[in-house]
Amino acid sequence: MPKRSNNPQNSQTPSRRGGAPVPALNGGESNQWLSVSYQPVSLFSLKRSDATSMAARSNLVPTPYAIKMALLKVLLESEGALHSSDFDEWIEGEFAWIRDLQIWVRPPERLVVNRNGYKLRYYDQTADKADKTRLTLPMQGGFVFREWIYLEGNLEIHCAANDRSPALTQLFAQINYFGKRGCFFQYLPDRTQITAEPLYQPNLSLSFTVGLMDDFGKNTTFDKINPFSTKKAALDKERTILTDFLPLKLTATSARYDFYQRL
């Protein structure tokens, strides 16, 4: 079951709205929008931020948080070794512009959400802390609920890039998966476009599916989201959850699957 947020304002989560001018990275209005497309080549799964480890529903598409983490991953792999002497100063500036990107995701034409339950055995994490005088089992059985999504069509990502468009294009070209490892996507270079106006904006009159999309907080730092750091990212601070409206319509459903079509 989903976890309940500790933030008393969670019931009034802000939503993403289209149509408003988007601030550029240099302080003016954005005049460059980058649009990239990916072809899914495997099933997709991305556990929602408010889910538990044993029972988790999946986001229907990659969230802005997952996309920005993928950008950071390829940035560190391609350029991190070149800044070993000034890494802290370099990553602070690079992280800031990736964190502040405004990202809109356009789903593929059709989605099928497959619900699955698994019976597995896993390590008992309380065994090492348990009373040494009582018997403990190093392995225990449990039931796990997961969702896997079949995506038919191309996934589109649109973001206000401004003067960062060339560098951002190179980073997107290096990404080959979103969500869980093994959820592969093929970058489509011939569908990459840089335009003065966004090619896609959320339209509330044509959006029927509400999704909780996580993103970086405005004051998040690299140390807070770095898995090798001792600092922890707090929900509703470093990692915010926004209400988004996806142009998807639920056309068929059962106990085992949901079928969505893009509008």
Q: What's residue 20's pLDDT?
A: 40
In a domain, 25, yes or no: no
pLDDT value, residue 202: 80
**pLDDT value at position 117?**
86
| In-domain check, residue 22 | no
- State the pLDDT at residue 100: 93
> Which CATH number does the domain housing residue 183 bear?
3.30.70
223 in a domain, yes or no? yes
pLDDT value at residue 132 = 61
Identify whether 134 is part of a domain.
Answer: yes
User: What's the pLDDT at 136?
Assistant: 63
Give the total number of structural domains in the chain.
1
pLDDT per residue as tens digits for the range 20-42: 444 444 444 447 899 999 999 99
Which tokens is 23 given? 């601030």
In a domain, 168, yes or no: yes
Indicate the burial class of 42 (C-beta count within 10 angstroms; 0-12, 13-18, 19 or more).
middle
Domain membership flag for residue 14:
no
17 occurs within a structural domain: no
Going by C-beta distance under 8 Å and a sequence separation of 6 or more, which residues neighbour residue 261? 109, 110, 248, 249, 251
- Per-residue model confidence (pLDDT) at position 55: 81
The answer to the question of residue 52 being in a domain is: yes
> Which portions of the chain are predicted below pLDDT 70?
1-30, 123-138, 207
Q: Is 87 left (phi over 0), alpha (psi -120 to 50) or beta?
A: alpha
